């Protein structure tokens, strides 16, 4: 197979997707560790889905679901 003919992802887009994925992965791993959800921690650590599985975990599958207000860390309570 000739990989030179495959379309190239622009560097800026690749960096944006990488940063997006790292932020959501970090949040989801932190949450799963704090909630002692070991199986989710392992799955989230191994499987890379560009943030999709991580977002689903945080807002749907976690024992204590994250809210949008928790993401607004810059606002004082």
Backbone φ and ψ of 31, nearest 5°: -65, -45
Cβ-proximal residues to 51 (8 Å cutoff; 6+ apart), any chain: 20, 21, 23, 24, 25
Which H helix or E strand runs over 59? none
- Which pLDDT value is given to residue 26? 92
Is residue 63 within 8 A of residue 37, CB to CB? The reply is: yes
pLDDT in tens, 32-61: 999 999 999 999 999 888 888 888 888 888
Phi-psi region for residue 72, left (φ > 0), alpha (ψ -120 to 50) or beta? beta
Whether 11 shows a pLDDT value over 80: the answer reads: yes
Residue 1's pLDDT band (cuts 50, 70, 90): low
């Amino acid at each position: 197979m000739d990989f030179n003919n495959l379309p190239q992802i622009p560097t800026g887009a690749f960096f944006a997707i990488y940063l997006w994925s790292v932020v959501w992965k970090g949040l989801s791993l932190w949450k799963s560790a704090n909630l002692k959800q070991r199986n989710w921690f392992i799955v989230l650590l191994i499987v890379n889905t560009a943030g999709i599985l991580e977002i689903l975990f945080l807002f749907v599958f976690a024992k204590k679901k994250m809210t949008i207000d928790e993401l607004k860390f810059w606002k004082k309570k």
